[in-house]
Amino acid sequence: MKIRYMLLLVALGVMFNCNVNEKPIDYAIVQGTIANYDTSKSFVIKSYKQIKSHTLKIDEHGSFNDTIQIQNGEFLFLYKNKNIWLPVNQGDHVKMTLDGNDFFNTLSFEGVGSEEKNIKVELAKISNEENSNYEEKYNRDEVGFKQYITAYKNKKKVLLNEAKDLGAEFIKEQMFNIDYEFIYDLQKYPVARGRFIKNESFKPSDSFFLELNTLDKFNVDEFNRSGLYRVIVETDLRDTYKSTIKDESADYYLGLIDFISKNVDNQEIKNQLLLRNSSGNITYTSDLDGFYKAFNNASTDRVAKDSITKIYNQLKLLSKGSSSPKFVDYENHAGGTTSLDDLKGKYVYIDVWATWCGPCMAEIPSLKKIEKNYHGKNIEFISISVDRQGDYKKWKKMVDDKDLGGIQLFSDKSWSSEFVKGYLIKGIPRFILIDPSGNIVSANAPRPSDHKLINLFDDLSI
């Protein structure tokens, strides 16, 4: 009996030690294949809260087997210009397959955690159908528009209710997301409808925004869970901020940080909104030091502060009078190649753009006018396309079709070009002014449509 008792204690001890030493699962495994995989593109998986994204390790055949350290939540799956928010939980082990040329129609999952992901893909297909014809959707009066988006909202809810093997909490969350899609459509309607009726000041009736106005916009649990909810909150906050602007000459980006600081009480939500509106916007502000100080005073997130500090220190290297990052041997549409050093002796006004960029297109008429007015003066106008190599012919054709002036250049590595990275360009169009010695006058110069540009040229006696 004593021996049996001792053996039992040993067995229990072994079991106990195994449980103690067993490493908790804090990851998900994603494996699979991508047909027609473009090796020049990355497949990125990113959480809203994570500053760094995870890039799948994919071989030249489109196969992958990757482990992702995560916390449970929704993650953005991004490949080329397609993306979808999908739930990813610790312990998931899924096989993902898709055709790189037909993202949504071929994306599917098998394995642990696949049911929730597959239903999200099916819901996304309905949303794609809803948004397939922009004019059909938005070129309606407000009653017709609400009827249109309500029909699609109901279609998604029917699909969700009929689905099997889904948890009650997941279904509840997705029902909320469907409602959020509906509300976000309400937010987009005034601008879209205004374009069709050629009335930029168009506003629907007060009752039109009933669902938006009755939404609890600072629910921290929903903010952390739902990407759509965050978009709604942020859009509403920005729209409200814009309506309060009285001085058009004031720095928009610094003002937005101050507005978030003063109008968002929940510190966790505030921290996330501050980071989201700083990591890119800090590269556009005209008051770098003021922006950085405002962010640091408002945020309590140490990781976010470290991230913004890193960007701030890089931007300080782009201060007025600093030596400009260079581009070398960019293809010139007129023939041959051009480097920044070739242009020394004159001021250089640079437009960083792409053929797919709507705001870039909007600046072309103003840029043409300024180029004409300053022709023969001590300044060169340079346009650098960051189109990918696959759009090279499109760039060549657009320069010809639109009769673009100045010096038209094609960057060597699109967004990965050393010049683009050197200026921390996060969005386009981006305008830069360099002096005759190759030093920076402004790393974020006024746009051609902004009267401040002419004032700047006058101050420099150009």
| pLDDT > 90 fraction of the chain, expressed in percent and rounded | 81
Residue 279 has pLDDT above 70, yes or no: yes
Confidence of residue 50 (pLDDT cuts 50, 70, 90): low
Residue 452 has pLDDT above 70, yes or no: yes
Distance CA(78)–CA(55), nearest Å, equals 10
Averaged confidence pLDDT in the chain: 91
Q: How many CA atoms lie within 13 A of 104 on its CB side?
A: 16
Residue bearing the bigger pLDDT, 5 or 30: 30
Q: What average pLDDT does range 156-185 have in this prediction?
A: 94
27-113: which CATH topology? Immunoglobulin-like (2.60.40)
Reported as type and span, the H/E element at residue 352 is strand 347-353
First to last CA, the chain: 102
428 token code pair: 């386009």
Q: Tokens 């087997």 identify what position?
A: 65
Q: Tokens 């709604």 identify what position?
A: 232
Q: What average pLDDT does range 243-248 have in this prediction?
A: 89
Report the pLDDT value the prediction gives residue 172, as an integer from 0 to 100. Answer: 94
Measured between alpha carbons, how far is residue 277 from residues 73, 82, 295 in Å? Answer: 22, 23, 10
Report the pLDDT value the prediction gives residue 23, as an integer from 0 to 100. Answer: 67
pLDDT tens track for 177-232: 999 999 999 999 999 999 999 998 999 998 999 999 999 999 999 998 888 999 99
Residue 349 has pLDDT above 90, yes or no: yes
- The count of residues in the chain is 462
For 55, list phi and psi in degrees, rounded to 5.
-100, 120
Residue 15 has pLDDT above 70, yes or no: no
Tell me, yes or no, if the two domains 27-113 and 330-459 fold the same way: no
Report the pLDDT value the prediction gives residue 200, as an integer from 0 to 100. Answer: 85
Q: How many CA atoms lie within 13 A of 157 on its CB side?
A: 15
Spell out the residues 6+ positions from residue 264 whose beta carbon is closer than 8 angstroms to its own.
Answer: 218, 237, 270, 273
Residue 14 has pLDDT above 50, yes or no: no
Instruction: Tell me 341's DSSP state.
Output: G
Residue 73 has pLDDT above 90, yes or no: no
Confidence of residue 373 (pLDDT cuts 50, 70, 90): very high
Measured between alpha carbons, how far is residue 416 from residues 81, 264, 355, 359, 408 in Å? Answer: 16, 36, 17, 21, 19
Q: What is the pTM of this model?
A: 0.76
Q: Which has the closest alpha carbon to 62: 42, 29, 34?
A: 34
Residue 243 has pLDDT above 80, yes or no: yes
Sheet holding 27-35, edge to edge: 63-69, 27-35, 93-99, 108-112
Report the pLDDT value the prediction gives residue 25, as an integer from 0 to 100. Answer: 83
Report the pLDDT value the prediction gives residue 327, as an integer from 0 to 100. Answer: 97
Confidence of residue 249 (pLDDT cuts 50, 70, 90): confident
Domain boundaries, the chain: 27-113, 134-213, 248-316, 330-459
Superfamily for the 330-459 domain: Glutaredoxin (3.40.30.10)
Measured between alpha carbons, how far is residue 254 from residues 151, 248, 296, 302 in Å? Answer: 41, 13, 12, 20
Kindly report which listed range (44-48, 65-69, 112-116, 353-357) carries the lowest average pLDDT score. 44-48
Confidence of residue 155 (pLDDT cuts 50, 70, 90): very high
Distance CA(126)–CA(156), nearest Å, equals 7
Confidence of residue 8 (pLDDT cuts 50, 70, 90): very low
Reported as type and span, the H/E element at residue 284 is none
Report the pLDDT value the prediction gives residue 135, as an integer from 0 to 100. Answer: 92
For residues 437 and 347, is the Cβ–Cβ distance under 8 A? no
pLDDT tens track for 394-436: 999 999 999 999 999 999 999 999 999 999 998 999 999 999 9
